[in-house]
Amino acid sequence: MSEPEIVVLPDPEASAAAAAERIAAILVEAAAARGRAHWATTGGSTPAAIYRGLAVAPLRDTVPWAQVELWWGDDRFVPFDHPLSNVSIAAADLLDIGATSGESGTGAYGVDVIAGRTAGAPIPAQNVHPFPIPKAIAEATDPEWAAERYVEMLRADGPPTEGGWPVFDLVFLGVGPDGHVLSVFPGSEAFDRDEIAMGIPAPTHVEPHVARVTLNPRIIDTARRVIVVSHGAAKASILAEILTSERDVRRLPAQLARRPGATWILDEAAASQLPR
């Protein structure tokens, strides 16, 4: 199989439910096989409903959350409680850190968690690994500093490596309107960098215009499984181009996820320009 699996479902709700089920199954399998399930997650508008599906029964009760290690593929250089933060989405819709730590309030990540709420995946606080962006901001450093610390964090607690690159059990991605994944934009210098994580200047061609930190696009090649989720007619044309045009990942970075072991979960609107 040289191409990814493409799953098309009637609407965003069905697609989010399918994505949550796939993610849960991958985490269960990785934890059973290797004792840990290393997941690099994403931002954008698609994760919230997927997170909510994982945060309640039955999926909440099927995943061995204590064995899940949650990382981020990229984030914006803003505090964790900022609406643009990819961490804030997980804090709002996925994590139940308080249930595990027995505490509520602002936890180790600087995000509010609610003790003992019945929804929420009880991933232990020490297994949640956001980019240390608030520390970088507090110390008046830059995205590159946060990226360097993240590389150290990955070396200490991250997944096994292959040729020096982390092998995540799951990389979960959204697709940007320009065909970007992670914070790797068309023509990105990230393709020429050897670091596992790096700072990225604020893009001017897509919103939001804020600086980022991102993992190296190589981690999409080394991941065991990749899940891409995209919804809506606004993405139909770029998705058709990504999935059908000749491979040129520097022009369309999302083509990195056109690989075996990847599953693209689209709603009908997003898939409307794909050949059937």
Applying CB under 6 A, the residues found at the interface with ligand 6PG are 42-46, 174-176, 206, 230
In the complex, the smallest distance separating the C-beta of residue 76 from ligand 6PG, rounded to whole angstroms, is: 6
In the complex, the smallest distance separating the C-beta of residue 265 from ligand 6PG, rounded to whole angstroms, is: 12
d(CA 226, CA 256): 10
Of the candidates 207, 167, 199, the one whose C-alpha atom is nearest the C-alpha of residue 34 is 167
d(CA 79, CA 85): 7
d(CA 41, CA 17): 16
Residue with smaller CB distance to ligand 6PG, 89 or 123: 89
Rg (CA), the chain: 17
Residue with smaller CB distance to ligand 6PG, 113 or 242: 242
In the complex, the smallest distance separating the C-beta of residue 232 from ligand 6PG, rounded to whole angstroms, is: 7
Of the candidates 125, 102, 123, 126, the one whose C-alpha atom is nearest the C-alpha of residue 114 is 102
DSSP annotation of 202 reads P
In the complex, the smallest distance separating the C-beta of residue 127 from ligand 6PG, rounded to whole angstroms, is: 23
Helices (H), 35-58: 47-54
d(CA 77, CA 27): 28
Q: How far is CA 243 from CA 62, 176, 228, in A?
A: 32, 14, 12
The residue of the chain with the least Cβ separation from ligand 6PG equals 44
In the complex, the smallest distance separating the C-beta of residue 254 from ligand 6PG, rounded to whole angstroms, is: 9
Residue with smaller CB distance to ligand 6PG, 46 or 100: 46
Residue with smaller CB distance to ligand 6PG, 17 or 125: 17
Residue with smaller CB distance to ligand 6PG, 41 or 100: 41
Residue with smaller CB distance to ligand 6PG, 134 or 176: 176
Residue with smaller CB distance to ligand 6PG, 46 or 216: 46
Beta strand segments in 182-237, E:
197-200, 212-215, 225-230
In the complex, the smallest distance separating the C-beta of residue 242 from ligand 6PG, rounded to whole angstroms, is: 12
In the complex, the smallest distance separating the C-beta of residue 174 from ligand 6PG, rounded to whole angstroms, is: 3
Q: How far is CA 43 from CA 173, 251, 269, in A?
A: 8, 21, 20
Other beta carbons within 10 Å of 116: 10
d(CA 234, CA 236): 6
Residue with smaller CB distance to ligand 6PG, 103 or 268: 268
In the complex, the smallest distance separating the C-beta of residue 144 from ligand 6PG, rounded to whole angstroms, is: 18
Sort residue 153 into left (φ over 0), alpha (ψ -120 to 50) or beta: alpha
